[in-house]
Structures are given as C-alpha cells and as structure tokens.
Amino acid sequence: MLNKLNLNHSIIFLIFCLVLVSLDYFRLNTLLYTCLFLVITIGISHGSLDNLKGKKLLQLYNINNMAYFYLGYVFLSLFVIIFWLFFPSLLLILFLIIASYHFGKEDSEFLCISKGLFFDILFFLKGSIVISAPLIFQKSKTLEIFDTIGMNTELIIFSSDLLVIIFVLLSILSSFIIVSSVRNLYALVLVLDLMAILVLNYFLQPLLAFTLYFCFLHSIRHSISLMYELDKNLTKSIPIFFKKSLPLTLLTGVLFVIIFILLMSEYDVSNSINKVVFIGLAALTLPHITLEYILEKKAEI
C-alpha cells in the first residue's frame, strides 16, 4: 500500500514538474515569497511530529517530563545558528553533507533497503543530486545564494565543474544501484524522482527548484510515511496527522516569519529569505536527524 502510494506520488510530482517548467512564468521568476510560504507550511510540517517521537524516546529512558525533549531540541537548533555565526562555511558544508544523506535516505527508506556502510554511502550520493544539480545547471545563481548565507564559494567543491559533474554522475549511478539491489517495481520511484529533480534544476531558479523538491517530494513523502504509521487507513490518518502536526508547524512558521521581518531591517528580500530558508532548515535538521538516528538505533537493540 505504502509503496503504491509513493509510486503514484512520484508520477504525479514528475508530471507536476513538467507542467511547471513548460510555463514561462515559473521559468523566469524565483517567486521568493511563495518559496518562503511553502517552506514554513508544507516544508517544515514533515518534522512537526517530532514531539511525539521525542515522547517515545523519553519513555525508553523512563523520563516523563517533555521539557527535557524541548530543551534539547531548542539547544541543538541554537547551537547550529551560533556555530553558523562564527564558522559559516564549515557549518554549511557539514549541513550539505548531512542534508544529502538525509534526503537520500528518507526518500528511499520506504523500499526497506538493506542497512550498512555501503548503502549509507549510496544514500549520501543519491541525495547529493539536490545540491549538485543546481551547481551544474544554474551555477552562478546557486553560488549567489551560497554567498548570501556566508559560504566561501571559492572552495574547490564549488569552483570545480569537473568535481560537480562527478557528483552528479555518482548520484545518478547510486540511484540505479539502489534500484537494481531492491529488484522491485516500486523502486522505479527513485528513477522518477531523479528525473523530476534534474528537470526542476535545469529549467527553474535554484531556490524555486529546491523549494518544490523539498516541499512536494521530500516533505510529502515523509508525511505519507508518518500518516501510515498513525493509521494504515489514510482516510483516518490524514485528519489525525494535520491535527497533531498543526501546533508545531504554526509555532515554527511564526518564528520563521519573525526572524524574516528582523532580517529585513538589515538585508534585502532575497538575502533575508535565503537566510531564513537555509539557515532555518539547517537549525531544524540537526535535532530532527539526531532524534531519528537515536530512535533507529534504539529499535535495533
């Protein structure tokens, strides 16, 4: 059931992407405010059940006070922001590495792929297409975004076209290796996803391409898996998911808007939105991934 849902989702997403890139309006505009709105609603909602996962984690340690979870979550987020203020390039490189692995793993894990170092490397390479594709198709505009968030764009990983091309080819290869290892019709989802990501980044502005991928592919796929965990009957699980995810989604969205307004007093709209989206997501990604990792390791014991 879940595999079929994800296959249908990928087909619809690819068609959606092909329709968008056929329209001049989307090819010629970044749609900054639209990107911000999508990220703070659909984008961050896929992590809005982390409080339920946090409760589950605390129960494993016989802790009933949720304050410990919220304090730890906020601490990790603040740590990322403070680290970025002092070491922006280092933080952002680490974020790109972690995000690549996260995207590759979460977009594929519904296939019940074997675990181990080899597949972890494949997940990283597969997910790196989200970063390498805009660098090969929209390099100057992508580097402009990196520059606004404090990245040293003269690093060899960004300045070398050959290195970027190698990453793109390795990412494509890793997707096909995963597909061949699963030997399941539903693994073709990964090929459809790859095509959609390449299409988006070839035709659209980098921020818009990333936003569409992050919100309508990555976030929705993760949300579908969360709904499936709540109740295998999606008719019942969808309203449950929205009800449970709404509080943290609203809270995080409001914080993003407040930070955006504050940044607007110092920077222009584009610069402010780039900082809110990418630094904000970096700050949320560390606690989100840490929580997922600990729960996964606990489940293996």
Contact (Cβ atoms closer than 8 angstroms) between residue 258 and residue 34: no
Query: What is the end-to-end Cα distance of the chain in Å, rounded?
Result: 28
Q: From the centroid of its chain, how far is CA 176?
A: 21
218 is in an annotated binding site: yes
Inter-axis angle of helices 129-137 and 117-127, nearest 10: 30
Contact (Cβ atoms closer than 8 angstroms) between residue 221 and residue 190: no
Angstrom distance (rounded) from CA 33 to CA 21: 19
Helix (H, G, I), strand (E, B) or coil at 238: helix
Angstrom distance (rounded) from CA 90 to CA 225: 32
Place of tokens 């410990």: 68
Inter-axis angle of helices 280-300 and 88-106, nearest 10: 50
222 is in an annotated binding site: yes
CA-nearest of 79, 208, 90 to 151 is: 90
Those residues with Cβ within 8 angstroms of residue 81's Cβ, 6 or more apart along the chain or in another chain: 279, 283
Tokens of 236: 């019942």
List residues forming the annotated binding site for Fe cation: 46, 102, 218, 222
List residues forming the annotated binding site: 46, 102, 218, 222
